Amino acid sequence: MHLLLPVLFALGAALSNALATVLQRKAALTVPRSDSLRAGLMLDLLRRPVWLVGIATVIVAAVCQAVALATGPMTVVQPLLVLELPLTLVIATVLLHGRLSSSGWAAVCAVVVGLAVALFAASPEGNRTYVPMDRWIPALAVCTAALAGLVFAALRRPAGRARAACFGLATAVAYAATAALMKTSMHSLDDGGVTAFLTTWQTYGFALFGGCALFLLSNAMQAGPLVASQPAITLGDAGVSLLLGITLYDEYLRGGWWLPLQVLGAALIAAGVLALSRLPLARALTGDQHEAAPAKAP
């Protein structure tokens, strides 16, 4: 029962982010299209109530994630955010009158079932509220080095799948670091109020890594096809978050005979996310103009 609250808020964050993606895409389809930067774009969008509702849902998602991280383990909260992609496509079939093929629905089921199997087998535990500096320094140093290395590798490659995957992995690392820092910030808010929240360095750390994640995300979307960037972002965020949850917050996953079941769940998630990223509906939601593998007929 102690995991009910973080699970509900994590699901709320995934649902809110999914709804925001669809609403913002719906608003973008109603404004004049331009292949170059247009100063009036934001003014056009601000006149669209749908876009404003999309922005509001982004805020709701951030609040839900913050509450989930404050009340539960990272090893539970962050993997649940994998559901954002299938939820986005399901919502899009309703609001944008899109269509998911039978293979698309199978992929959605694979992600949901895989996540359930992996979390059941892992049975994450632990919710440490204080992390000493001798853990933060090496963890953030490794994350920063990984970010720098992935960005450097991306810039050395031409536009395409490899470049998009490198930027996608860099985005995932930044998202995971943001979540780890946010978790401590929220504990500070809970223990010491707004003053403690504004005076703890982790608050400004997660703002920095969060801004970096948004910048890298935009580069990942422009660098190559969604089928290369989205799996790297979705699976990379969950994987790095698991590592940070274990190393920073002493969270625990079951081992032994449970490991094969965890691997099976992770494989189902990976297969489902990869299949969903190939769907034309997914590429339409992100405005992906790059050539991708054609979707198979249902």
pLDDT tens-digit readout, 23-32: 877 766 555 5
Phi-psi sector, 126: left (phi>0), alpha (psi -120 to 50), beta: left
Measured CA to CA in angstroms, residue 121 lies from 165, 197, 217, 263, 268 at distances of 29, 35, 31, 9, 14
Predicted local distance difference test score (pLDDT) of residue 35? 42
Predicted local distance difference test score (pLDDT) of residue 292? 40
The stretch 57-67 carries a mean pLDDT of: 91
Sign, CA dihedral 107-124-234-187, equals positive
Share of the chain above pLDDT 90, in %: 47
Phi-psi sector, 60: left (phi>0), alpha (psi -120 to 50), beta: alpha
For the cut 50, the answer to whether the pLDDT of residue 272 exceeds it is yes
How many Å apart are CA 87 and CA 280, to the nearest integer?
15
**40/93: higher pLDDT:** 93
For the cut 80, the answer to whether the pLDDT of residue 138 exceeds it is yes
The stretch 53-61 carries a mean pLDDT of: 86
pTM confidence score? 0.84
Q: Is 252 helix (H, G, I), strand (E, B) or coil?
A: strand
Predicted local distance difference test score (pLDDT) of residue 137? 95
Measured CA to CA in angstroms, residue 21 lies from 5, 57, 84, 136 at distances of 24, 9, 10, 32
For the cut 60, the answer to whether the pLDDT of residue 155 exceeds it is yes
Residue 57 identity (one-letter amino acid): T
Question: Considering the chain, what is the average pLDDT of its residues?
Answer: 84
Is residue 114 within 8 A of residue 82, CB to CB? The reply is no
